[in-house]
Structure 1
Amino acid sequence: MAGQAMAQAAAAKAGTLRITLPEPVMLTGAFNSAGQIYLISGKMFDGLVTYGFDFKPRPQLAESWTLSADGLALTFKLRPGVKWHDGKPFTSADLAYSAMSVWKVAHPRGRSTYANLEKVDTPDPLTATLRFSKPAPYVMNALAGVESQILPRHLYEGKDLLTNPLNAAPVGNGPYKFVEWQRGQFIALERNPDYWDKSKTLLDRIVVRIIPDPAGRSAAFESGELDVGGAIPVALADAKRLSGLPSLEIPEKGTEALATMAYIEFNLRKAPFNDVRVRRAIAHALNRDFMMKNIWYGFGRVSTGPISSDMSQFYSKDVPSYKYDIEVAKKLLDEAGLKPGADGVRFRMTHDPLPGGDHYRSTGDYFRAAMQRIGIAVEVRNQDFAGYYKRVYTDNDFDSTNFVAFNLTDPTLGVQRFYWSKNIQKGVVFSNGSGYSNPEVDKLLEAAQVETDPVKRKAQFAQFQKIVMTDLPNIPIGDINYFTLLNRRVKNLITSPYGAHDNFAGVSVTG
């Protein structure tokens, strides 16, 4: 109670922004792409560039950049005078360390984004040249502070990356500095007085209230205790009602860079999920129209394949489909040798929802009911984030799971990680957790990584979508509106396609 009182007292101060998110497992996004980390880490770390709504890069930590004619060398001229929050200068050595020892090695998307990065030259403290073995046409789309986050080399090099205490108490270079994290209660950030852009950082503090219950978050928004929540911060059943209140709104923009999708994923390491007939049967047993209307309350549309329809330049609807048909589902299970027993049960399985909101739990409950109709008994297991990440991505102790993930602005950045066999890596969250491996898919993904002809690249991804929807390592459920709920006293928050995931440097509050 004392910690909660401190958070509320801080939030009462003029110039304090009050936001909410589920409890993260850490505050550094350089090697963990979990959504709740994405929402907070970018306030403490700037990126090389930021992006306009046209998705064109704009200078941030990098003042300028040039790409060689052969596409193999990308040179950045870094902004002078930028300091880490401990007062040390930000230099090209930090970029080189982060690119080679963090993004390329440990980030679930970075492993594919930077797969062809061979080295980083640093001829002086303000110049860095990324050298690739093959062209990487998508990299300029991956340099936001929340996606390719640069860590301070002097505080990380020579230490264990995953267990460094600074992952929970970051030393960044962004507009806000870490102050305190009272677990289960609040996270406090304060204005960085040495921030390079003196025209920004209008807020004194950001107080993040940890409210695990969506109903509690809804009540806090309605009473005026919260200002901002990104990534579907309230129960979907409450969202439209709350956005109709005079003090609150759901902005139309600010999620374009995310291209969020909901999935049900299988563990292909285990029988019977290594049998594609079983996966197809389950797909036929899911009424995804019902799910979008009754679980997602219309905040999205049914997916047709592994690439979001929001990513129109790569999306293809010319893929195998699995319409809702219980009898087809039963027939496929019969063909797989999974006949009902005396109790009507064909087999038993577990399902682990992502512990991020009611929509995940509701998906788990619906999945259990849907599977019962075709003779599959499902145990739904709910746990906290740390337990979920360990169970799914470290121990691979699961049969199926449901979650959402960002496709981002290019399939190589946000989609490849789930289907590329080289991204099967224990302990790396939101990677290839299913264990899916198809040499033809690997070949297509790796070809698209280096293809500079946009027509050929689109064709490669079209073929990829067909194969993946045939193999069905996961079931795409919906293209989701990952909305932000915002108090109207907050000004200048939605200024980029990253919206609530951006750095809030120019945000202010009135009243």
Structure 2
Amino acid sequence: MKQPIVSFLAFSLFALAACGGRGPVVDDDAAANVPEEQRYGGTAVVSQIGDIPDVSPLTSTDHTASQIQQFVLFMPLLAYDENFEPIPRLARSWEVNADTSLLTFHLRDDVFWHDGVKTTAQDVKFSYDMARDPNTGFPNTAFWTNYGEAEAVDSFTFRIRMRSHAEFLDPWRAFSPVPRHILEGTAAAQLRTHPFGTRSPLGNGPFRFVSRQDQQSWTFEANPDFPAELGGRPYLDRIVYRSIPEPTTQLTELLTGNVDYYIQPPAEQAQRIESDRRVRLGSFDDRAFVLIGWNQRRPLFEDARVRRALTMAINRPAIIEGVLYGYGSVSNSTVPPFYWQYDAQAGDDLAYDPEAARRLLAEAGWTPGPDGTLRNAEGQPFRFTVLTNQGNQVRADIAEIAQSDLRRIGVDMQIQISEWGTMLDRINTPTRRDFDAVLIGWVTEFRIDDRDLFHCDKRDEPYQWVGYCNPEVDRLLDSLPQIVDRDAALPQWQQYQRLIARDQPYTFIYFQERLRGTSARIQNVNPDARGDWVGAERWWILPDQRGRAQPQTAQQ
């Protein structure tokens, strides 16, 4: 199945090489000799397969939007350094009281919204209150499980009550306040359709919003008033984010100088990028994993034996080798292998084993019919549709491999490809959820709290896609965030991962090694597990190459 795809890509790249590429070759020595005052200016073009439907910190559900909020358009109270330790951002400092029931942030007094209004503690309180309002539809409600009432003590002091719990600062890295003077008076239920998220976002971060072309591009420009203590004005004049659904087109744009930073190229392009002196290939161990979520609101997926069997019937190591070219590792839970909580033994009984999968399905009442398709006692065939997003060839390939593997054990899986925003609406809207299974990715936060994914009480909230419910898992989900001591928490983390592996609400396919391609002209692009956009304000372009990229192609 892979051969036609690889052959077509190879032909396309041969044709591209035959036509001749343009652009500088990588010269790290030349970059090292450019003084800081000459690093200002130019437009960088960033590409990825999907549009960003909504950038509002209160309503967006897209991972790229979260990156834009943290590193480009807005400013959380704190950030993580390269060692994942908290450092000041909007907040200059913070402290907790003796019994860890009060967390106080002291904000900077030199941060302004991009319309000139100063950012204050009143903005932070307003944003927090709106995020906690269930009518807003804020997707990460588990952020606030251990937090209570908040107050703006004065213009630059924000105080919040909390229960003592582990990693209590992490939500404040991921959540960015919004401007009260823009959104105050808007009903919480109307925030999702407010133009703030799609047509006129107003932030306070290192870059300002300029324009958006639906399904095509977002443009941001440098904020000249960004605080000097936080680095001051960004080096780049502008960043253009382009949505390019076709990976082959993205690669062509990178190699011909029309894209500077290609986020997450498929692994089959890695060798081509690495071999071209005009571009660089980089990678890092990511917090993201890919999964197939089984909608347990459907009777077909109610039985955990069925879900386990489906996992055992899919050759996940073959997917990693054949689709990712080895840039990944099999996953069996939401915990990345480089986290201290990781349990390598969780799911060790879920290895690829079609015969064991057939036995489990037979135990659950599914036996072969005359046509070889499994049927239950009522004669219903084991047939369903998996939903995934367009423009992602990796997921399309995974779906086809899973389809073939499942067919071998008598399961008929159909594949439906959907536009990204449309798919998110179908799976995130609790009143819809009109799907059987979904093939999608997820990014684990630094502070793992899976209540939004798996808690029984979250079944009517955006990220509880599959309707999974297990009171024993709920108990662990409720207790784990409260345990501050890691040695005491580790046995419970192991128990949690083994329960999830046993129940298989998802088939966890892999944790990925995330790739990137960058042009020779752009410097200091060093993403890591914090995100693809980390350090965007320090990206810069070689002075003699600032006219080469062509962001206007986003309009075509």
Out of 296, 300, 307, the residue aligned to residue 279 of structure 1 is 307
The answer for the alignment partner of 2:201 in structure 1 is 170
Q: Given that residues 200 and 506 in structure 1 are in contact (C-alpha distance below 8 angstroms), is that contact kept between their aligned partners in structure 2?
A: no
Gaps of 5+ in 1: 1-12
Q: Given that residues 19 and 227 in structure 1 are in contact (C-alpha distance below 8 angstroms), is that contact kept between their aligned partners in structure 2?
A: yes
Q: Output the aligned Cα RMSD.
A: 2.0
The answer for the alignment partner of 1:125 in structure 2 is 155
The answer for the alignment partner of 1:376 in structure 2 is 411
Hey, what's the Cα distance between the residues in 1 that align with 2:460 and 2:157?
32
SS in 1 for 2:467: coil
Hey, what's the Cα distance between the residues in 2 that align with 1:240 and 1:339?
45
Cα offset, 1:109, TM superposition: 6.2
Residue correspondence of structure 1 range 166-205 to structure 2 within 5 A = 166-168=196-198, 169-197=200-228, 199-205=232-238
Q: Deviations over 1:90-139 (max 9, x none)?
A: 1111111222321675576631121121111211010001211x213223
Give the AA of the match of 1:161: L
SS in 1 for 2:193: coil
Out of 351, 355, 364, the residue aligned to residue 399 of structure 2 is 364
Residue correspondence of structure 1 range 76-475 to structure 2 within 5 A = 76-102=105-131, 105=134, 110-132=140-162, 134-144=163-173, 147-159=174-186, 160-168=190-198, 169-197=200-228, 199-230=232-263, 232=264, 234-253=265-284, 259-311=287-339, 313-320=340-347, 321-346=349-374, 347-355=382-390, 357-394=392-429, 395-412=432-449, 415-426=450-461, 428=462, 431-475=463-507
Q: Given that residues 63 and 79 in structure 1 are in contact (C-alpha distance below 8 angstroms), is that contact kept between their aligned partners in structure 2?
A: yes
User: What TM-score results when the alignment is normalised by the length of structure 2?
Assistant: 0.83
Cα offset, 1:351, TM superposition: 0.4
Give the AA of the match of 1:482: R
Hey, what's the Cα distance between the residues in 2 that align with 1:252 and 1:365?
26
- The alpha-carbon distance between structure 1 residues 482 and 28, as it changes in their structure 2 partners (threshold 3 A), is farther
SS in 1 for 2:72: coil
Q: Given that residues 285 and 329 in structure 1 are in contact (C-alpha distance below 8 angstroms), is that contact kept between their aligned partners in structure 2?
A: yes
Hey, what's the Cα distance between the residues in 2 that align with 1:497 and 1:52?
11
SS in 1 for 2:368: coil
SS in 2 for 1:161: helix
SS in 2 for 1:479: strand
- The alpha-carbon distance between structure 1 residues 250 and 47, as it changes in their structure 2 partners (threshold 3 A), is farther
- The alpha-carbon distance between structure 1 residues 267 and 495, as it changes in their structure 2 partners (threshold 3 A), is closer
Mean Cα displacement is larger for which, 62-71 or 197-206?
Answer: 197-206
Hey, what's the Cα distance between the residues in 1 that align with 2:87 and 2:104?
15
Q: Given that residues 116 and 136 in structure 1 are in contact (C-alpha distance below 8 angstroms), is that contact kept between their aligned partners in structure 2?
A: yes
Out of 42, 45, 53, the residue aligned to residue 18 of structure 1 is 45
Hey, what's the Cα distance between the residues in 1 that align with 2:350 and 2:491?
23
Hey, what's the Cα distance between the residues in 2 that align with 1:287 and 1:226?
35
Give the AA of the match of 1:344: G
Q: Given that residues 279 and 520 in structure 2 are in contact (C-alpha distance below 8 angstroms), is that contact kept between their aligned partners in structure 1?
A: yes
The answer for the alignment partner of 1:10 in structure 2 is none
User: What TM-score results when the alignment is normalised by the length of structure 1?
Assistant: 0.90
Give the AA of the match of 1:398: F
Q: Given that residues 108 and 417 in structure 1 are in contact (C-alpha distance below 8 angstroms), is that contact kept between their aligned partners in structure 2?
A: no
Residue correspondence of structure 1 range 29-68 to structure 2 within 5 A = 29-41=57-69, 42-68=71-97
SS in 1 for 2:149: strand
Give the AA of the match of 2:268: A
Give the AA of the match of 2:140: G
Hey, what's the Cα distance between the residues in 1 that align with 2:290 and 2:216?
28
- The alpha-carbon distance between structure 1 residues 196 and 495, as it changes in their structure 2 partners (threshold 3 A), is farther
The answer for the alignment partner of 2:17 in structure 1 is none
Cα offset, 1:396, TM superposition: 1.1
Hey, what's the Cα distance between the residues in 1 that align with 2:68 and 2:250?
17
Give the AA of the match of 2:423: Y
Q: Given that residues 104 and 111 in structure 1 are in contact (C-alpha distance below 8 angstroms), is that contact kept between their aligned partners in structure 2?
A: no
Q: Given that residues 298 and 436 in structure 2 are in contact (C-alpha distance below 8 angstroms), is that contact kept between their aligned partners in structure 1?
A: yes
Hey, what's the Cα distance between the residues in 1 that align with 2:122 and 2:459?
29
Pick the structure with greater CA Rg: 2
Q: Given that residues 302 and 479 in structure 1 are in contact (C-alpha distance below 8 angstroms), is that contact kept between their aligned partners in structure 2?
A: yes
Give the AA of the match of 2:246: D
Hey, what's the Cα distance between the residues in 1 that align with 2:99 and 2:75?
29
- The alpha-carbon distance between structure 1 residues 498 and 104, as it changes in their structure 2 partners (threshold 3 A), is farther
Q: Deviations over 1:243-290 (max 9, x none)?
A: 33212223345x6xx511111110011112001121111011011110
Q: Given that residues 441 and 467 in structure 1 are in contact (C-alpha distance below 8 angstroms), is that contact kept between their aligned partners in structure 2?
A: yes
Gaps of 5+ in 2: 1-39, 375-381, 546-556
Cα offset, 1:14, TM superposition: 5.2
Hey, what's the Cα distance between the residues in 1 that align with 2:156 and 2:132?
20
SS in 2 for 1:130: strand
